[in-house]
Amino acid sequence: MGNMSEADVLLRQAAGYLKPEDLAQLESAYRFSAQAHDGQFRKSGEPYVSHPLAVAEILTQWHLDPQALTAALLHDVMEDTAVTKAEIAEKFGKMVADLVDGVSKLDRIEFESQEHEQAENFRKMLLAMTRDVRVILIKLADRLHNMRTLDVMQPKKRARIARETIDIYAPIANRLGLNGLFQELQELSFRHLFPTRYKVLQKAVNSARGNRREVVNRILEAIRTRLEESGIAAAVSGREKNLYSIYRKMQEKHLTFSQVSDIFGFRVIVKDVPACYWTMGALHGLYKPIPGKFKDYIAIPKANGYQSLHTTLFGPFGMPIEVQIRTQEMHKLAEAGVASHWLYKASDTELSELQQKTHQWLQSLLEMQTQSGSSIEFLEHLKVDLFPDAVYVFTPKGKILAMPQGSTCVDFAYAVHTDIGNRCISARINNELVPLRTVLRNGDRVEIITAAHAKPNPAWLNYVVTGKARSHIRHFLKTMQYEESAQLGERLLNQALSALQTRPEQVPEDNWVKLLKDGSLHSKQEVLAEIGLGKLLAFVVARRLLQLGDYDPEASARLPGSMVIRGSEGLALQLAKCCHPIPGDPIIGYIRKGHGLIVHTHDCPVARKTRGDPDKWLDIEWSSDTDRLFAVNIKLVVSNQRGALARLAAEIAEAGANIDNVSLEPGDSSAYANIHFTLQVKNRPHLALIMRGLRRIPEVIRINRLKG
């Protein structure tokens, strides 16, 4: 059933600060975990439950609350056994289940690439993914115990886990201000990554330690005496450098071991902030300070809340001495970081002050939600939201992309590659098909599905958030509009030329050159696009090309014949929103400057108002083979019966039309309601068929097409 004596150690440690009922919950969580992991063993041969026990024990050193300890005992059951989140929630409460789920989610993410930027993004993603700081603390304790027991693993796996620890988990511990944990993780990683270098350094440090002891004692004595003389009460201690920091200094600054080990470190802990500065003054009187080697982290704390004065002095025989000066309060924060806020809680008043301090210190780290009294509540609201403006998502190959908050699948597609953005048609998030407008969340794995003939949709501009996506969509639409306007312009010009009894190929090339020069235009294409966009009139251009002098509206008859349109000409042709023309309606075209050809129905009141300028109006007609669907609005007055809307929708579907939009407004009395539909239809006969079908429904009182 697992090892109960280890459980006793945990309960004894927790009993120091938890209530009896909390201890009972821990004991039942231990039994639950032991049962779930029954028959599972670690690589070392110990029963598996010894690992969650050890993790919970590490957390008791930070005085974590009962939920976190319970979650630590259960943190592997969802991963490794058949237990579900619902079972945990039922037995131990929703909060514990959420914590276990959070830790399991982090376990599932495999760190794949060793690149520095990838590691940085990975760290940020882990921090952003965990809404509750306790998830990270459990994960860090889990990693610490795994690192302490790494010897039984294969060398290759050892190196991978150690590399991941030094790249990702140690910096997270540092960011959260957990100094002791940060150093131990670094030290253990160093030992497993470079075992030989570690042994050599360890040996060198041990042999140097003997010679150093006498020097350290002399300096300690001198500092203590000077502080006593100055009337400053202080605890002074010599500081051992850890092996990894010695190794890093040697590597980064190209120093030899003796150069690094010649630096002696001391820590002075005093009662309050003024005493820190007095101490520094006293020490600068004892040994000369080295210029430029003084840092005041009390006035300007580090991002993780760390505060101390750092100064480097010329010691006896010119040896450099590094001194850290801090208060007891600062020392607790430096050692336990974010955990210190519930580790050293004395009273509620002190806690709220601590919370305000946390707010200032960990501004970049922790988002405070409340000024609450109890440490449990405080914890709940202590959110790790270090990078609130970014979302971290995976490509299918496991690369991490940092996207701005609110990014959609379209933003992601453009972030991967412009062509993928331009050709995307749908997306999969975590293997599920989703619409392109879906907003991405931390840790999502996103795959974009493209099609060769797809092109950007103007509607994307309503929801993309990245500048890259927006500018590429705009650029594409502009280019597309230019090309489509040129095609329309060519048709208009050919029509104008044929009215003057000329075929396009009969226009002499010199006439084109002269036209371009006079109008300071660059190419034939540009002339055609300007005609299509309504900036130049086709018949004016035609007369100039044939050098017939300026156009005389009185002498010139209207253009013969009408132009045929299919409605699928793209951005150069727009169907007027005021009258929604559909194939079968008599239509007329208006060339609006900068917008191209706008199609209205003959009887459109808006068109009637602007009929003053005959040059801008063209006779156009529908092609017999239009190949798209057109929007049309209809309004129905129906009696308010149950299921009426369903019957209407079924009838519309039956007639082979699509409903684009539906809105209801109450009628004149509660017996009737007005319903507006926007339908997608092929042409006028199709619309007539739909309306006939709708009239047959008994609830329909009146039906008509809306053109306004």
The per-type count for the chain, helices as H runs and strands as E runs, is 29, 21
Pairing of strands 672-681, 630-639: antiparallel
User: What is the layout of strands, in order, in the sheet containing 672-681?
Assistant: 658-666, 672-681, 630-639, 700-706
- φ/ψ region of 53 (left if φ > 0, alpha if ψ in -120 to 50, else beta) reads alpha
- The residues facing 106 across adjacent strands are none
H or E stretch including 525? helix 524-532
Residue with tokens 């430096």: 334
Q: For residue 52, what are the CA distances in angstroms to 141, 143, 336, 517?
A: 10, 11, 21, 83
Sign of the alpha-carbon dihedral angle for 15, 17, 22, 28: negative
Beta-carbon contacts of residue 204 (< 8 Å; ≥ 6 apart)? 257, 261
Around Cβ 4, how many Cβ atoms within 10 Å? 12
Catalytic residue among 80, 262, 296, 335: 80
> Residue 265 in 3-state DSSP?
strand
Out of 8, 38, 79, 272, the active site residue is 79
Active site residue 509: no
Pair 74, 29: CB distance under 8 Å: yes
Beta-carbon count within 10 A of 239 CB: 13
Look at residue 472 and give its three-state secondary structure: helix
Alpha carbon distance 536, 86 (integer Å)? 70
Taking alpha carbons only, the member of 369, 347, 373 closest to residue 359 is: 369
* Close Cβ partners of 632 (under 8 Å, ≥ 6 residues apart): 580, 582, 678, 679, 681, 687, 705
Angle at Cα 237 formed by Cα 234 and Cα 243, nearest 5°? 150
Whether 80 is catalytic is: yes
Which strand (E) or helix (H) includes residue 142? helix 133-148
Cβ atoms within 10 A of the Cβ of 54, count? Answer: 21
The DSSP line for 146-211 is HHHTGGGS-HHHHHHHHHHIIIIIHHHHHHTT-HHHHHHHHHHHHHHHSHHHHHHHHHHHHHHHHH
Q: What's 65-99 look like in SS3?
A: CHHHHHHHHCCCHHHHCCCCHHHHHHHHCHHHHHH
Count the Cβ atoms, other than its own, within 10 Å of residue 320.
16
Residue 305, Ramachandran bin (φ over 0: left; ψ between -120 and 50: alpha; else beta): left
Rounded-to-integer distance, Cα 142 and Cα 154, Å:
19
Burial 555-580 (b: 16+ CB within 10 A, else e): eeeebeeebebebebbbbbebbeebb
Pairing state between β 295-296 and 309-314 = antiparallel
Rounded to whole angstroms, the Cα distance separating 507 from 300 reads 78
Strands 617-622 and 630-639: unpaired
Catalytic residues: 79-80
